[in-house]
Amino acid sequence: MRRIFGINKTGIPNGSKSDIWLLGVCYKVVQDDDPSIEPTQSEGFSAFVDDFSSRILVTYRKGFPPIGDSKYTSDVNWGCMLRSSQMLVAQALLLHRLGRSWRKSLDKPHDQKYVDILHLFGDSEESACSIHNLLQAGKTYGLSPGSWVGPYAMCRTWETLARSKREETGNADMSSLMSFYVVSGDEDGERGGAPVLCVEDIVRHCSDLSNGEVDWIPVLFLVPLVLGLDKINSRYLPLLAATFSFPQSLGILGGRPGASTYIVGVQDDQAFYLDPHEVQPVVDIKTDKLDIDTSSYHCNTLRHFPLDSIDPSLAIGFYCRDKSDFDDFCIRASKLVDQSNGAPLFTITETRSSPTAVEYNDRVTSNSGVPELDSFDAVGPGESDGGRPEDEWQLL
């Protein structure tokens, strides 16, 4: 089958022996004790493939109930941004509910939490994160069946959908909450420049959503960016690659014009991605059916493309489970700002009135900073999880 980026590329780009970063975890494909072993035969590569194939794949579907009052029963040729964003949010929910070290098991019955997450992305109004509900929530931002949508509108749509679901369900259980927060620039980005993440605003956001009952609730940060005109400005490429070393990384919504994908990892100048452009029949995921076939929600083929071919309009995602996780994220992001030569992806400030970015770098330690842009320092697979507790959850 012809892939959206041309030739179906698999395996390691050009036989590279460089480390692979996948959503905050580093995999060494060359063994120090025996560098003669081919990268694809290494334990590190095997662990990477296991991790990659455990990420949730969401693709075009056909045969679902009509969307709203339309006659659309498939999203083929127009729903790729919606599907890519569903994959990013699904990864956030995997982190939130099952932890970064979770891997899909071949055994049945499946884990109940895993099936519950898949159910959220079913293709009907009954599923909270369905394409049906996203299109309804995104009407204000121009979303409609049959029309393509950009990253900024997609991020705002998720924020709106989460708000509507919160109003429907209330905040009965503080341990279940996960919120969405879109990071934008001055006047919602209309003045241009790098988006600004204000710590004071985030703290208030968490307090407001919990009605003051807790100081922090888990947050999914979405950062929509425009990093060039027709082509991405090359000065941003090392910064984008470095974000995959953050333990909080949820990857990137991006691709080529009109062809969105979910980018989950990098090796050298290549990006690994999950492709939503395959058309599959609808699967009815029931939460009480733990033996259901979920193979269509996972990908066993590695695909990659040059990072410099990404569309300049994209969005980055991060998940911060608790305040210490957020502080660590701020440290890493602030160091990345310092390495940006005056052109950061986004900045962090303590308050809206702060004249300069918050100084987190004084607290950077040897094990909490981001790697230098020209080389990534490796950590073992799974070590980035940090033993963070698993939570029950609901969308906010």
Tokens of 262: 């979910």
User: Does the annotation count 304 as an active-site position?
Assistant: no
β-strands 25-27, 60-62: how paired? unpaired
Cα–Cα distance measured from residue 173 to residue 18, given in angstroms and rounded to the nearest whole number: 45
Query: Using alpha carbons only, what angle is made at residue 249 by residues 38 and 13, rounded to the nearest 5 degrees?
Result: 25
Contacts of residues 12-16 at CB distance under 8 Å and 24 or more positions apart, as own/partner, are 12/39, 12/40, 12/45, 12/267, 12/302, 13/267, 13/268, 13/270, 13/304, 15/39, 16/267, 16/268, 16/270
Taking the domains of the chain in order of start, what are their residue ranges?
A: 9-29+44-349
Active-site entry in 19, 51, 80, 205: 80
Q: What pLDDT does residue 360 have?
A: 54
Measured distance CA(4)–CA(259) in Å, rounded: 7
At 225, the amino acid letter reads L
The DSSP output letter for 388 is: P
- pLDDT at res. 210: 85
- Do residues 146 and 320 make contact, with C-beta atoms less than 8 angstroms apart? no
* Number of C-beta neighbours around residue 21 at 10 A: 26
Q: How far apart are CA 194 and CA 49, in angstroms?
A: 34
What DSSP letter does each residue of 269-283 carry, written as one string? TEEEEE-TTSEEE--
pTM above 0.85, yes or no: yes
Between CA 371 and CA 320 the distance in angstroms is 19
Please tell me the predicted confidence (pLDDT) of residue 269.
94
The whole-number pLDDT of residue 167 equals 81
Q: Phi and psi for 225 in degrees, rounded to 5?
A: -140, 150
Radius of gyration (C-alpha) of the chain in whole angstroms: 20
Among candidate residues 110, 119, 277, 304, the one labeled active-site is 277
For residue 53, the 8-state DSSP code is H
Residue-level pLDDT at 192: 54
Q: Mean pLDDT for each 10-residue chunk of the chain (396 residues)?
A: 35 78 94 73 91 97 95 96 97 96 90 94 95 96 94 95 83 65 70 82 91 90 94 96 98 88 96 96 92 94 93 97 96 95 94 61 43 42 40 44
Residue tagged active-site, from 19, 51, 75, 275: 275
**Is 80 noted as a catalytic residue in this protein?**
yes
Q: What are the backbone angles phi and psi of residue 289, rounded to the nearest 5°? A: -110, 90
